Each structure stands twice: as C-alpha cells, then as structure tokens.
Structure 1
C-alpha cells in the first residue's frame, strides 16, 4: 500500500522503443519481446515506417536484454528520428491502486521538471499533454481511467505521466523521452523514471526545479535522448490539420459519434481523416472539397 519504501532497482519495468527503417518483421526477438508492427512512425519522406519494440516486464538486473535488442535493431540500419519516442512503463504492483492519486498529485508538482530533464521535443508535446487539476478532481470524485483522459489529438488522452496505464497494464507510463537507439541514453531514461516512481511511492517531497529534482532522485542530470527538430513539411502538415479540424469535426461527429480526430492526411482527390472512439475503435474517412464544403466520399473501417 501507499506510501511504502521500495528500492527503485527492484521495480519491474518495460520500455517502448520506437524507430524507423529496417525490416521489423525480420528481427529475431529475445523470449517474451514483442515487435508491434502496427505502431509505425514517420520517415523523412513522410511515409509510415519502422515499428515499436518492447520487452516483457523485466527488472534492472535484466537490462542487458535491452542492449542486445538495440544492437539487433541497429544491425538493420534502423534509426530513431524526430518522429520517435521512448515510453517507459513502471510497475505499480508494490503499491496497487493506492498510488494512482499520489501520482496525479506528484504530476502536478513535478511534470514540468521531468519534461525539462528529458528535453521533450516541442513537436512531440502533443503526445504527452500535462496532468491537470481537473483530472485530479475527477479522479477523487469517481476513480477510474475515464477521469484521466484528455480530449484531443493524436492519442492526447495519454498524459506525459500517464497514470491511466494502471487500469490497462498495472503501470504508470512516462512518455516524455525522445526516441533513441543508444543504450546509455535509453538506460538513463529508464533509471530516471524508476527513481521518480519509487520516490512518489515512498511519499517523498521533491524539488520542482529540474536539476534539483534529478539530484534529489540520485538520477543523472544529463545524457538523455536529445531533442530533434521536425522537418518543415511536418510542421506545415500540423498547421494544416489545425486549420481543417474545425471544419471537418462536425461531419466526423455525425459519422462516428463521440469520436476524436487523430490526424488528417492529404490523399489524391481529397483528405483522409482518422478518428478514434473512446474504446480505441479506429475509423478512417475520405473527404473531398466541393462548392458547398467538404463532402464525405467513403469510410474505411480498420
């Protein structure tokens, strides 16, 4: 139960390693490791590429598995580019659900500092929005994953410190780190996240200034995956999405009630709009410009 002292290097963890390039389906996996072939990033030409590699729940003394799998990825000429992230899952089984509220409270105090330590690229912030006071209040009134969900895009219901992951995987997911295939950068990121969760689990009061927080946790002050700028075409695509969503959202709501738009891509003859229901159901729609506005051409169900 919470609070409880647990050594950081005794916690189970997982890590989601995003990359582009290579032939993910050909990588030989260690026992229990998973290659999520449907989780693709964006290469320099704007194509979906790569995949997401993740281990089974492991412990600190098993971390050499990560080095081995990174070496196997790099042997295929894979890369972690500007579109990639590194998500660390830390097991909460030592505290059970009692730690979820303290994690939300800690997020309000320390999320900015944690994000600063990990140097989150600006264009990736859409994937890791902040925990809010409103979320905490919703959770206090009615505990459950529904209280911890943002509305927005894409996947923006997953906060940078994603305590909702407890209800799915028994973990908290920390999503701020930029992508990397460098073992030392990856392992430093995991250590920082483990130390942070152990401190919250122990009920420790921490400083909110980045360098002081790292020092108080006993974590490295630097050496984390560096930020990488998004190409200009990607920025322009995001600006276009921002402009189109207000015009398209009412039609998408009629076609798929209670959904939210994840992304909009230009395709031949129009645009492709991907929208997701709260249960994760993904639908895609093709719209074409007409004299009376955007006309729905057809639907594609994943």
Structure 2
C-alpha cells in the first residue's frame, strides 16, 4: 500500500474545543467524552464551553465527527479565538522507533505545518515550536521530561507533541484553530494522518507550506481560519507576563515545583492559578500590600471570571 492510501489505516482521535452550548447535557456517541474541566473563554471573559474528545476512530468512522458537531451546534455551541483543535494519531504500527523521526520532522516542517493550518499567532502560547536542544536531549536520554516545555505551562505541550506516546500511544498535533465545521475538522485530521504516515514511511518533508501540502498529497486550503483575540485578552496576557516573575517566588512554597498557569484580576486583588507537576490546578488569591503581595486564603474566587 502506498503513502497516499496508507494514512487512511491509522487510527486517530480529535479534541474539539468550543464555547457556549450545554456540554454537561450533550448526548454523546459511545466512547466519546466531554472534558468538563477543560473550559474556554467567551467574548465576555467568562469561562465557557468545554472540550469534546473522540475515542480512537478509523477514517471510515469519521462521520461520527459530523454527528457530534451537529449536536453541539444545535445547543448553540461555537468556536472562537480561545478554541483549538487537537488531533491524536495512534503510533502502534510504528512503535517507539518513530519518536525521533517525528521530532526531526517537526524541527524541519513545524513552521510550514502551522502556516498551512493558518494558526493564529496568539495560539503559540498553547502550542510552541519545538526547539532543537530539546530534541537533542531526548535523543540522548529518552526522558519524556526533555520534551516538556517549562516556564509557561499553558504551553508545556509543543505543537508536535510526542508526550502522549508514553501514556496513550499517540502523537498529538496541536496547531489547528478551533472549528465547528465538519469539513474543516476532517481536513485537519487528514493532514495530520498524512503527516504521520509520511514520517513513518521515511519521507523527508519540506519546510514550505505549499511544498509540504504537495509532498503529503494534502489540501492546501480549507482549514479552520484564524481569529484574533480581543484587545482585553491581549492585555490580560501582557499583564500575566509582567506578574509571573514577581509572583513565582511566592507560589513555589505553596505548590513545590509548580508553575503559574494563568492570572485573573479580581476586585480585591488577583486570582493566581498554579499547575503542579501532575498537571493538577490550584488557585490562590493575592492582594497588593506595601512593596509586596499578601496571600488571602479565605477569599472565594469567582469562577465566572476564568
């Protein structure tokens, strides 16, 4: 079987982020999961929606995506700038031997792949580019920690993320923008399947979007379009970047080894969300005092400000 057909035999999963709807009430097809703790941000700044997760699917089962998207749309769910689309591709056929080739392919083609998918620039926070030194470290040690981005854990998963191999046997490709349109979602799935199949076949991939699409036999257009975040969201991120270095020393004793995930302004201070090494999330309320910050453990944080 040649490459142009081989990709159809790989199993895949897809994670669809959305806002609105009634995710806790959505009727799910067998095997599908609603990650109710994976919330997105609506246009008012409130937490909204969820992340819909498919079970391992075969290409001929992709109509399940259409069905689930239709159910979401009927509830009024949509995708906005805060939403992404992640595709997991099963690596059982190749085994561990494909991990280094996948990382090398990412170094070669990740910019072309993200450009082909028209990734919104602000999404780099959630799917940063893989640096060469991490690949070198993983090649030497085989340690999954080598390919975990630290310092800004909203982005600890690189855009081409092989860490799921060690948990569920997949590679995750995270660059796509969110979408509620089945043709766009399925087109992203196809591109990711073709990418992994090409790496598995030992094909050297180009670093230019049009050439990459041609090499993979994938569509060049028709992927989810980018949507820029509102000004207030950009300002929130700028504020976080300024505050994180100041608050990190105060957070370390509270969650040893943890890192600040995000910060939300509150009427009486700020809510600081801290991610532990096991990916669990804790929250703390701080208020400014003369020359420093004071922890206020008794203050109840308003979840709607997410």
Q: Is the 8 A contact 2:124 2:155 kept in 1?
A: no
How high is the TM-score relative to the length of structure 2?
0.94
Contact 1:35 1:54 survives alignment (8 Å): yes
| Alpha-carbon separation, structure 1, partners of 2:36 and 2:148 | 25
- 1:262 equivalent to 2:255? Answer no
For the 8 Å contact 1:274–1:283, the answer to whether it is kept is yes
Task: Please name the residue that 2:10 is paired with.
Answer: 11
| Distance (Å, rounded) in 2 between the aligned partners of 1:227 and 1:276 | 28
Aligned match of 2:70 = 71
> C-alpha separation between the residues in 2 aligned to 1:257 and 1:54?
31
Give the equivalent residue in structure 1 for 2:194: 195
Runs of 4 or more consecutive aligned structure 1 residues displaced over 2 Å after TM superposition? 152-155
Give the equivalent residue in structure 2 for 1:100: 99
1:128–1:160: 8 Å Cα contact kept in structure 2? yes
Q: 2: distance between equivalents of 1:224 and 1:13? A: 18
Query: Does 2:291 match 1:295?
Result: no
> CA–CA distance in 1 between the matches of 2:254 and 2:17?
32
Contact kept, 8 Å, 2:153 with 2:275, in 1: the verdict is no
* Superposition RMSD in Å: 1.6
Q: What aligned pairs does 1:52-201 form with structure 2 within 5 A after superposition?
A: 52-201=51-200
Partner of 2:304: none
Separation of aligned partners in 2, 1:210 and 1:61: 27
Q: Tell me which moved more, 245-254 or 38-47.
A: 245-254
Structure 1 residue 6 displacement after superposition: 8.1
For 1:146-171, what per-residue CA distance to the aligned partner results, in whole angstroms no more than 9, with x for missing partners? 11111132431100000111112110
Q: Give the unaligned 5+ runs of structure 2.
A: 301-306
TM-score by structure 1 length? 0.95
Q: How many equivalent residue pairs?
A: 298
Query: CA separation in 1, counterparts of 2:151 and 2:109?
Result: 23
Structure 1 unmatched ranges of 5 or more: none
